[in-house]
């Protein structure tokens, strides 16, 4: 069955909404809140009974520059610095207009959610992620995406925004020029509905949950654990292909090299950034852990058995413990403890002599503020003392970064660069700002483009409808 159906301009629908949004994750809900504020009643179509998406699985950290939360802690930052960090990590591959829009919109986004909808953000100030030249990760108290999505959904409910649950958008209905006229949805009971719209926002994330598309665009991760929402099946890309939309950075993705196995719990990269290291099952280090967790996914998967060990101490565990996920890993028994490196090696079942030599080498480098053989610079003051901890981890695919090419307000581009008249995309449905490689992903690019572009797309769609 074709996934974009050409229909006549006077097609009759079962229901009508001026603004339809597909997907009620962070992108869809931010778009809906922004549109509602601008006087448009949006309707969201959501596959699940209760909206969750990958947003609920995330740590819920949104990078934002120049916020009052940063100023209160004396952190100097601005959108230009942030945009430069994004492009440095993305090797300059991010679309400058989109990078500029998200960097400039990030501070206002976080303050908007805090001030208008009461989300209690603060800025994480006890560790930084690779590639950020200022402390700018803003999170909610539990540091979970579940708290974020629940807060966004509550805000939408308070504003009487309609979310149609248990409905999968299956086909777009468009005229000959690519103007979207409506969406065909399949309801939970198998019945079909056609909902007409004047404007459509795609907020249905990427293709991590579609093994065929992962194999096609990201073969390196074809057999890796997919840790995102399984309902994100690449519909935006498939619709875009059929409509003649421009697609960009399809090989880009957010990977992660630190998912506790077999427990499947995210272990924060704080463990590495505070002076922890990874060793393989032979007790050897294998790369510079401070480059970023995204590129680390394939490095871990290349090790014997596709696993590695995060190794750190009690000081680092205390920093990681701010994340509910880390506390869950402790409860699940994923965190091993040893009073000496040899005792820990025994519990990890790695060769104690090799591991102890690696560990001693790292501690020497820390004391000397020196660089290792992989290019990692260790820092004095991050020395580790007993007791030591280790967690067995693997590499995973978190979400895809490729998608529909958009302008700075989320409007979708045709192959020739012109804009579709009434089609927007935000979050994982749109091409991100990380370029075409896992290494291009700067921490937080996912929720950054979901929340900021969601808001911008909602505002622009509403402006179009009220013109």
Ligand X SMILES: Cc1cc2nc3c(=O)[nH]c(=O)nc-3n(C[C@H](O)[C@H](O)[C@H](O)COP(=O)(O)OP(=O)(O)OC[C@H]3O[C@@H](n4cnc5c(N)ncnc54)[C@H](O)[C@@H]3O)c2cc1C
CB of 345 to ligand X, least distance (A): 29
Comparing CA positions, the residue from 95, 112, 76, 154 lying closest to residue 432 is 95
Identity of the residue, 167 or 291, whose beta carbon is nearer to ligand X in the bound complex:
167
**Closest approach of Cβ 62 to ligand X, in Å?**
6
Can you tell me the distance from the alpha carbon of 110 to that of 95, in angstroms, rounded to the nearest whole number? 22
3-class DSSP assignment, residue 248: strand
Q: DSSP character for 282?
A: T
Smallest separation (angstroms) from ligand X to the CB of 169: 4
Q: Which is nearer to ligand X, 129 or 309 (CB)?
A: 129
In whole angstroms, the minimum distance from the beta carbon of 4 to ligand X comes to 13
Q: Which is nearer to ligand X, 348 or 448 (CB)?
A: 448
| Spatial distance between the Cα atoms of 185 and 45, rounded to a whole number of angstroms | 8
The string over 24-59, giving b where at least 16 C-beta atoms fall within 10 Å of a residue's C-beta and e elsewhere, is bbbbbbbbbbbbbebebebbbbbbbeebbbbbbbbb
Gap between the Cα atoms of 381 and 400, Å rounded: 36
Q: Which is nearer to ligand X, 338 or 395 (CB)?
A: 395
Instruction: Quote the least distance from Cβ 445 to ligand X, whole Å.
Output: 6
What is the number of residues in the chain?
467
The DSSP secondary-structure symbol of 378 reads: P
Residue 451 CB, nearest approach to ligand X (Å) = 8
Burial 104-135 (b: 16+ CB within 10 A, else e): bbbbebbbbbbeeeebebebbeebbbbbbebb
Query: Which helix (H) or strand (E) segment is 111 a member of?
Result: helix 96-117
**Dist. CA 291–CA 257, nearest whole Å:** 11
Question: Which positions lie near ligand X, rule CB under 6 A?
Answer: 22-28, 45-48, 51-55, 57-61, 145, 168-169, 203-205, 227-229, 231-232, 235, 254, 266, 398-399, 427-428, 444, 446-448, 450
Nearer to ligand X, 295 or 372 (CB): 295
Quote the least distance from Cβ 368 to ligand X, whole Å. Answer: 33
Of the pair 145, 283, the CB lying nearest ligand X is at 145
Closest separation in Å from C-beta 45 to ligand X: 5
Considering the complex, state which of residue 79 and residue 427 has its C-beta at the smaller distance from ligand X. 427
Return the number of the residue (51 or 66) whose C-beta is nearest ligand X.
51
CB of 384 to ligand X, least distance (A): 25
Which residue is associated with the tokens 């209760």? 50
Residue 225 DSSP label = E
Q: Give the separation between CA 364 and CA 298, rounded to whole angstroms.
A: 28
Specify the residue, 22 or 161, whose C-beta has the smaller distance to ligand X: 22
DSSP strands (E only) in 7-135: 15-22, 42-45, 62-63, 122-123
Q: Number of H helices and number of E strands within the chain?
A: 15, 21
């Amino acid at each position: 069955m074709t996934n974009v159906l050409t229909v006549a301009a006077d097609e009759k629908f079962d229901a009508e909404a001026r603004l339809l949004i597909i997907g009620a994750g962070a992108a869809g809900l931010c778009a809906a809140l922004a549109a509602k504020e601008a006087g448009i009643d949006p309707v969201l179509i959501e596959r699940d009974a209760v909206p969750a998406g990958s947003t609920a699985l995330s740590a819920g950290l949104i990078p934002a520059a120049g916020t009052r939360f940063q100023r209160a802690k004396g952190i100097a930052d601005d959108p230009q610095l942030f945009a430069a960090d994004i492009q440095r990590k993305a090797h300059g591959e991010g679309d400058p207009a989109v990078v500029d829009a998200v960097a400039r919109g990030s501070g206002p986004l976080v303050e908007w959610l805090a001030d208008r909808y009461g989300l209690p953000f603060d800025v994480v100030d006890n560790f930084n992620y690779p590639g950020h030249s200022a402390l700018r990760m803003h999170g909610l108290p539990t540091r979970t995406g579940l708290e974020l999505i629940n807060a966004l959904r509550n805000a939408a409910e308070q504003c009487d925004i309609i979310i149609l649950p248990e409905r999968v958008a299956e086909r777009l209905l468009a005229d000959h020029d690519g103007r979207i006229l409506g969406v065909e949805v399949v309801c939970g009971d198998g019945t079909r509905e056609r909902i007409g719209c004047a404007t459509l926002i795609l907020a249905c994330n990427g293709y991590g949950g579609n093994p065929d598309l992962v194999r096609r665009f990201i073969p390196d991760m074809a057999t890796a654990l997919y840790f995102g929402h399984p309902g994100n099946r690449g519909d935006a890309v498939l619709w875009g292909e059929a409509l003649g939309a421009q697609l960009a950075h399809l090989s880009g993705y957010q990977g992660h090299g630190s998912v506790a196995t077999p427990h499947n719990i995210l272990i924060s990269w704080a463990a590495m950034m505070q002076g922890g290291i990874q060793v393989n099952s032979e007790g050897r280090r294998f790369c510079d852990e401070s480059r970023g967790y995204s590129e680390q996914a394939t490095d871990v998967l290349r090790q014997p058995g596709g696993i590695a060990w995060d190794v750190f101490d009690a000081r680092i565990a205390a920093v990681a413990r701010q994340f509910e996920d880390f506390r869950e890993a402790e409860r699940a028994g994923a965190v091993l403890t040893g009073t000496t490196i040899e005792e820990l090696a025994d519990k990890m079942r790695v060769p104690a002599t090799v591991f102890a030599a690696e560990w001693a080498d790292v501690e020497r480098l820390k004391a000397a503020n020196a660089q290792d053989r992989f290019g990692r610079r260790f820092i004095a003051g991050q020395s580790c003392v007993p007791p030591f901890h280790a967690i067995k981890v693997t590499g995973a695919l978190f979400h895809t970064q490729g998608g529909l090419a958009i302008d700075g307000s989320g409007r979708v581009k045709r192959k020739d660069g012109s804009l579709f008249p009434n089609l927007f995309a935000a979050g994982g449905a749109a091409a991100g700002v990380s370029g075409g490689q896992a290494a291009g992903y700067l921490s937080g690019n996912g929720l950054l483009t979901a929340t900021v572009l969601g808001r911008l797309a909602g505002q622009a769609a509403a402006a179009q409808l009220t013109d």
